[in-house]
Structure 1
Amino acid sequence: MSGAAETVEADGLDSGPARGRHTPARTCIVTRAVRPPEEMIRFVLSPSGEVVADLKGRLPGRGAWVSARRTAVAEAVRRRQFQRAFRTAEARAPAELPDGIAAALRADLRQSLALANKAGCVVAGFAKVEAAIGEPAGISGLIHARDGSQDGLRKLRAALYRRLGDAISRVPVLDDLSNEELDMALGRDHVIHAALVAGVGSAGCLARWRRLRLFEDAVDTTEAGSADHGEAGSAPHDETGFSTGAPQVAGSRDDGTPQGSG
């Protein structure tokens, strides 16, 4: 076979979990778009006939692929695309499938944040975050509890703006987790403000955060943004999807490498 036939299964299903480092492009059963697996979610059938999201790409059996967005998964459920892909009317894909995937991605983000914390890549507390912004190394990402007061976040954004000016748009703001979830991930009480600093743990955490944001169709919503008079404006997310890369640090405006805002 040649061309697309080398990268895409003819019936939309793969032959099993990928082996080796190279995983061919896959076809979304909803949109028929051909994308790299990092921008897709693999689904398999359990022995009882339930459609299961294989987020790590390791579950046995043939897999169907869907673009890694909540809307695409919901459409696959609504249009019974899983039954068509697996060629059985017995395939059960509940309406709650997208919610289950979102919950799993949130759990993955919490675990990654916990690992980043153990690796020394997280500082927590308003004063420590403000100090980290002023350090030469700067920060890789600003973390704010979803249900926390916006006043502290505005002040930290203002500090970022004073340091970086319009380059503030390079610093992602991770505001998807609640105060309780941050407490759970970081092993301390009442965490509202935190920050990621440079390191391997920081890169992994940002990758998982981007994965969650992509799934929730939030790649075009605002993050830190550029600011006027010390107040945060808005900046679009990048379109990197699941791509990780090394996080750029918000300590220098002239590092020569654009930072994906995720």
Structure 2
Amino acid sequence: MPADDEKGPLRRCIASGTVGPKESMIRFVIGPDGEVVPDLEERLPGRGLWVTADRDALAKAMGKSVFAKAARRAVKVPPDLALRLERLLERRCLHALGLARRAGHVLAGYEKVREALRANQVGRAGPPPALLVEAADGSLDQRGKVTALAPSLPVIDLFQSPALAAALGRDHAVHAVVARGRLAAGLARDAARLRGLKGSQGDQDAHQDSDKGLGVGNTAGRPAM
């Protein structure tokens, strides 16, 4: 079936049986030692086992031998697989944001972001904005003034200010805008998958990782990733 074709655009979730675009799913493979391994790059050898990027779907896949049945062999599911996967996606998002910044596809700072949104371009004669990035611990009043300028633009509010600052090479970062392009598309996909894995709990809790400053913000009803 098309959903089971590793070269096609669709995949079947082993937890729910639903078919959807692979962009909304996470690929796993079984390592040489029988352990379930996330393959976020989707390049590892072996048969792919796909799970919808959703907190409940992953929890179901981790229980009741779902991975073992799909792999048709005994497997080892790490008890911290969900947390491990979240951390991998967090690192990917921040790395992608840093790459976009080095490529000149990101503007940061309250006034610069507002100016880019008004002009509908990132940088002088640059491409239009694709994503807004807002620190989870930033001022809701300032966030509202930024997002009001582009109400349909997706917002990534999965990280606290220290993490954004580190990714953007700044001492402080609360607001950023990412230009349309390949890097923005990859960041959007990983952020959406991370949001799905965090689930509703992600809008209530903030990670207290003092080294990375990772956290989840409330999207306040806007398109969010």
TM range (shorter): 0.7 to 0.9
Residue by residue over 1:41-92, the C-alpha shift from the partner in whole angstroms, topping out at 9 and shown as x without a partner, is 2211112221111112211122322222222111111222112222334x11
Match of 1:213 among 156, 173, 195: 195
The 3 A distance-change label for structure 1 pair 142 and 65 is closer
Alignment of 1:97-112 (within 5 A): 97-112=81-96
1:116–1:205 CA contact under 8 A, matched in 2: no
Aligned partner of 1:130 in structure 2 is 114
The 3 A distance-change label for structure 1 pair 134 and 39 is closer
Measure the CA separation in 2 of the matches of 1:38 and 1:203.
Answer: 11
Measure the CA separation in 1 of the matches of 2:30 and 2:94.
Answer: 27
Aligned partner of 1:42 in structure 2 is 27
The answer to whether structure 1 residue 30 and structure 2 residue 15 are counterparts is: yes
2:25–2:193 CA contact under 8 A, matched in 1: no
Aligned partner of 1:57 in structure 2 is 42
Residue by residue over 1:218-262, the C-alpha shift from the partner in whole angstroms, topping out at 9 and shown as x without a partner, is 7xx8xxxxxxxxxx9734x4xxxxxxxxxxxxxxxxxxxxxxx76
Q: 1:27, CA displacement in angstroms?
A: 2.4
Aligned partner of 2:177 in structure 1 is 195
The 3 A distance-change label for structure 1 pair 147 and 94 is same
Alignment of 1:1-262 (within 5 A): 4=1, 7-9=2-4, 18=6, 22-23=7-8, 25-89=10-74, 91-137=75-121, 139-158=129-148, 160=149, 168=151, 170-217=152-199, 234-235=221-222, 237=223
After TM superposition, the score normalised by the length of structure 2 is 0.77
Q: 1:143, CA displacement in angstroms?
A: 1.6
Measure the CA separation in 1 of the matches of 2:114 and 2:50.
Answer: 43
- Name the SS for the 1:113 alignment partner: helix
Q: 1:8, CA displacement in angstroms?
A: 4.8
Measure the CA separation in 1 of the matches of 2:120 and 2:43.
Answer: 41
Paired residue type of 1:44: V
Q: 1:24, CA displacement in angstroms?
A: 5.7
Stretches of structure 1 that go unaligned for 5 or more consecutive residues are: 222-231, 238-260
Measure the CA separation in 2 of the matches of 1:207 and 1:25.
Answer: 15
1:70–1:215 CA contact under 8 A, matched in 2: yes
2:24–2:189 CA contact under 8 A, matched in 1: no
Paired residue type of 1:155: K
After TM superposition, the score normalised by the length of structure 1 is 0.67
Measure the CA separation in 2 of the matches of 1:101 and 1:35.
Answer: 20
Measure the CA separation in 1 of the matches of 2:87 and 2:69.
Answer: 26
Q: 1:136, CA displacement in angstroms?
A: 4.6
Structure with higher Rg: it is 1
The 3 A distance-change label for structure 1 pair 203 and 38 is closer
RMSD, aligned CA: 2.6
The 3 A distance-change label for structure 1 pair 139 and 36 is closer
The 3 A distance-change label for structure 1 pair 31 and 104 is same
Sequence identity (%):
39
Measure the CA separation in 2 of the matches of 1:26 and 1:132.
Answer: 37
1:45–1:52 CA contact under 8 A, matched in 2: yes
Paired residue type of 2:12: T
